[in-house]
C-alpha cells in the first residue's frame, strides 16, 4: 500500500507534465513578426535586429508591430509605419530608390564591367603576344619555351 502511494507521489508531477506552450500568444502573428523584425534595426543597439534584441525599446516596437499585424497590415505598410517615425535607418534592407540605386545595382554593374574587362584583356593579350612573337628575337623565343 505504502509503496503505491509513494509511486503516485513521485509520478504526480510527471503526470501533470505536458507539451510546453509557445511563449507567443499567437504563433501565426509571431511567425510574421519574426520575418518582418529580422529586417528591422534595433534603434538603441550596436547593430542588432529588432527580432533578436533584448532592449526595452525593441520589446515596445515588437509589441507595436504585433498590433499592426493583428490589424492585417501588410509588410510594406508596417515598414512604412516605422520609417515614418524613425527614418530609413530602421530598415536593414534599404529601399530601392534613386538614392540607393548605386548600392543595389552596383554589384551587378561591377560584374558586367569585370567580365567585359576580362574578355578584352584576353583578346588584347592574344594580339600583343602574337605581335611580340612575330617581332621576336631569339631571346624571347627561348623564354616562351622555357615556360
Partner 1 sequence: MIPELGQFSLVLATVLSVVLGVLPLWGTINRNTVWQSLARPTALLQFAMVLVSFICLSLAFLGNDFSVKYVAEHSNRLLPKLYQFSAVWGGHEGSLLLWVLMLTGWTAAVAVFSQSLPLNMVARVLGVLGLVSVGFMAFILLTSNPFDRLFPIPADGRDLNPLLQDPGLVIHPPMLYMGYVGMSVAFAFAIAALISGRLDAAWARWSRPWTVIAWAFLTFGIGLGSWWAYYELGWGGWWFWDPVENASLMPWLVATALIHSLMVTEKRGSFKAWTVLLAIAAFSLSLLGTFLVRSGVLTSVHAFATDPARGVFILCFLAVVVGASLVLFAWRAPAVTLGGSMGLISRESFLLLNSVLLVVATGAVLLGTLYPLVIDALNLGKLSVGPPYFNLVFAPLMVPLLFVLVPGTVAHWREARLNDMVYQLRWVGLGALLLAIVLPFMFGKWSAGTALGVFLGMWVALGSLQHVVERIRKPGRIGGSFWGMHLAHFGMAVLVLGITGVKSYEVERDVRMSLGDTVTIAPYTFRLVDMVDVNGPNYKATQAHVEVLKNDRVIEVLYPEKRRYFSSAMPMTEAAIDSGLLRDLYVSLGDPIAGDTPSWSMRVYYKPFVPWLWAGVLLMVFGGILAALDRRYRRRAVSPMQTAGEALSSAP
Partner 2 sequence: MNKKFLIPLALFAALVVFLAVGLTRDPREIPSPLVGKPAPEFSLPMLVGDKAFSPSDMKGKVWLFNVWATWCVACREEHPLLVEFSKQSRIPVVGLSYKEIQAQDQPNGPLKEADKLQLARERSLRFLQRQGDPYTLSVLDLDGSVGINYGVYGVPETYLIDRQGVIRYKRVGPLTPQILQDTLLPLIQTLEAS
Residues 66, 38, 71: CA angle, nearest 5 degrees: 20
Quick check: helix, strand or coil at residue 45? coil
For CA atoms 90, 96, 97, 99, give the dihedral sign: positive
Quick check: helix, strand or coil at residue 25? coil
Q: Which does 16 bind (CB under 5 to 8 A by kind): partner 1, partner 2, none?
A: partner 1
CA distance 74 to 63: 16
Q: Which does 60 bind (CB under 5 to 8 A by kind): partner 2, partner 1, none?
A: partner 2
Nearer to partner 1, 3 or 98 (CB): 98
Contact 38, 47 (CB under 8 A): no
**What is the smallest separation between the CB atom of 6 and partner 2, expressed in angstroms?**
35
Cβ within 8 Å of residue 49, ≥6 positions away: 37, 38, 39, 40, 41, 42, 92
**What is the smallest separation between the CB atom of 56 and partner 2, expressed in angstroms?**
7
- Contact residues: partner 2, CB under 8 A: 43-44, 56-57, 60-61, 64, 83-87, 89
CA diameter of the chain: 111
Q: Which does 86 bind (CB under 5 to 8 A by kind): partner 1, partner 2, none?
A: partner 2
- Contact residues: partner 1, CB under 8 A: 13-14, 16-24, 30, 38-39, 41, 45-49, 52, 87-94, 99-100, 102-104, 106-107, 110-111, 114-115, 117-118, 121-122, 125-126, 128-129, 132, 139, 142-144, 146-147
Q: Which does 69 bind (CB under 5 to 8 A by kind): partner 2, partner 1, none?
A: none
Amino acid at each position: 500500500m505504502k509503496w503505491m502511494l509513494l509511486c503516485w507521489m513521485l509520478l504526480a508531477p510527471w503526470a501533470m507534465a505536458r507539451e510546453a506552450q509557445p511563449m507567443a500568444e499567437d504563433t501565426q502573428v509571431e511567425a510574421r513578426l519574426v520575418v518582418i523584425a529580422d529586417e528591422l534595426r534595433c534603434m538603441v543597439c550596436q547593430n542588432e535586429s529588432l527580432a533578436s534584441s533584448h532592449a526595452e525599446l525593441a520589446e515596445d516596437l515588437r509589441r507595436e508591430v504585433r498590433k499592426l499585424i493583428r490589424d492585417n497590415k501588410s509588410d510594406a505598410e508596417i515598414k512604412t509605419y516605422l520609417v515614418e517615425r524613425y527614418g530609413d535607418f530602421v530598415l536593414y534592407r534599404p529601399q530601392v530608390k534613386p538614392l540607393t540605386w548605386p548600392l543595389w545595382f552596383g554589384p551587378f554593374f561591377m560584374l558586367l564591367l569585370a567580365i567585359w574587362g576580362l574578355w578584352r584583356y584576353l583578346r588584347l593579350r592574344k594580339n600583343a603576344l602574337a605581335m611580340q612573337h612575330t617581332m621576336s628575337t631569339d631571346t624571347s623565343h627561348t623564354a616562351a619555351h622555357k615556360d
